[in-house]
Amino acid sequence: MTTPEHADAGAEAPRRAGWAKSLLDLALILLAITVAKSALAEPYYVPSGSMEPTLKIGDELLATKYPYGYSTASLPLFINIPGTKRILGALPRRGDVVVFRSPANMSQIWVKRVVGLPGDRIAVRHGRVWINGKPVGLTSDGMGSDESDDGARQLVPQFLETLPGGRQHLIFQESTSGPMNNMAEITVPPGHLFVMGDNRDNSDDSRVPVSMGGVGLLPVADLVGRVNVLLGSWDLAVAHRSVWQWPSGLRLSRFFSAVR
């Protein structure tokens, strides 16, 4: 005859096995998600206006990781270990919008545009970029709306920039003076990139050394991926309004739009 105590003991073992299987299944799911984020693509949020007008504050972008290969920088952001050489590596093209680990703080993700490749000679003269002794194409394109972190907006001059090879993108360029708009020629060393924000007066990029809060010459090993598409966008300025007005901040025209 089975006593109640023996019955409880007999039921406990299957219950423990069920819990163990559930925990294993959860661990496998988390592992699969981590592998997918490391190998394929990962979304990131744009917190600043340094890439306006291409990227706006409040955009959510998708960085695809396989175009440039993999290094420890490709791992999810919460995994922060020293950089390594890339495997299956490939260089970006001039004009690519890239996501990378900040050389000054590997736990931060930044986004800029690749302007110079290894071996390129880069200079900035009166706000215009020069590559290998020639000025890039620059054509006036009217005025654009420059948004600050607090939601304030101002009109600034907008230009169409054409890089060697013919790739074009819009930039904001309000000033042509000062150290950010006048940089002596440098040569991009092997294994590095020269990157810039499209908002030329509001971007701590390769024109600014790491010791001063910029990117400096970006190691290729710090690349995370290439930005091709926006997943969505929300205008942060509406956060100061009533909750029921927040949906009006959705920029539906930017959902699933291409990034060039």
For the ranges 127-136, 141-150, 184-193, 237-246, the lowest mean pLDDT is seen at 237-246
Per the model's pLDDT, the better-predicted residue between 105 and 134 turns out to be: 134
- Residue 10: per-residue pLDDT: 55
Between CA 49 and CA 202 the distance in angstroms is 7
**Residue 112 designated active-site:** yes
Give me the pLDDT at residue 169, please.
Answer: 97
Q: What pLDDT shows up at residue 181?
A: 95
> Residue 165: what pLDDT?
93
Percentage of residues in the chain having pLDDT higher than 70: 81
% of the chain surpassing 90 pLDDT: 58
User: Please, are residues 161 and 170 in contact by the beta-carbon 8 Å criterion?
Assistant: yes
In this model, does residue 245 exceed pLDDT 90? no
DSSP-derived letter for residue 62 is: E
Q: What is the mean pLDDT of residues 191-203?
A: 96
CA atoms within 13 A on the CB side of 44: 27
Output the pLDDT for position 32: 47
pLDDT at 227: 96
Q: Which two tokens stand for residue 145?
A: 């709306």
Q: Which of 53, 49, 64 is nearest to 229 (CA)?
A: 64
Identify the pLDDT of residue 15: 60
Q: Where are the alpha helices (DSSP H) in the chain?
A: 4-39
Q: Above 60 in pLDDT, residue 5?
A: no
- Tokens 């739009």 locate to 257
**CA separation (Å) from 4 to 8, 82, 229?**
6, 58, 62
**Mean per-residue pLDDT of the chain:** 85
pTM above 0.85, yes or no: no
- Min mean pLDDT across 38-52, 95-109, 117-131, 200-214 is at 38-52
Residue 240 has pLDDT above 80, yes or no: no
Q: Which of 56, 74, 112, 206 is catalytic?
A: 112
Q: Give ∠ CA 205-198-50 in degrees, rounded to 5.
A: 60
**Counts of helices then strands in the chain (DSSP H, E):** 1, 14
Question: Does residue 194 have a pLDDT over 90?
Answer: yes
Band of residue 127 on the pLDDT scale cut at 50, 70, 90: very high
pLDDT digits (tens, 9 = 90+) for 33-58: 444 444 467 889 898 999 999 999 99
Backbone conformation region of residue 98, classed left if phi is above 0, alpha if psi is from -120 to 50, else beta: beta
Q: Which CATH class for the 40-254 domain?
A: mainly beta
| Average pLDDT of the residues in 116-121 | 98
Distance CA 112, CA 204 (A): 10
Catalytic: which of 50, 74, 203, 233?
50
Cβ count within 10 A of residue 40: 13
Residues contacting 7, CB < 8 A, separation 6+? none
Domain ranges within the chain, ordered by starting residue: 1-39, 40-254
The dihedrals phi and psi of 47, each to the nearest 5 degrees, come to -95, -10
pLDDT, residue 89, reads 79
Whether 148 is catalytic: no
Contact 94, 115 (CB under 8 A): yes
DSSP string across 44-75 = EE--SSTTTTTS-TTEEEEEE-GGG-B-GGGS
**pLDDT at position 34, please?**
47
Instruction: Give the up-direction half-sphere exposure of residue 129: CA atoms within 13 A in the CB hemisphere.
Output: 30
For the segment 88-96, the average pLDDT, to the nearest whole number, is 91
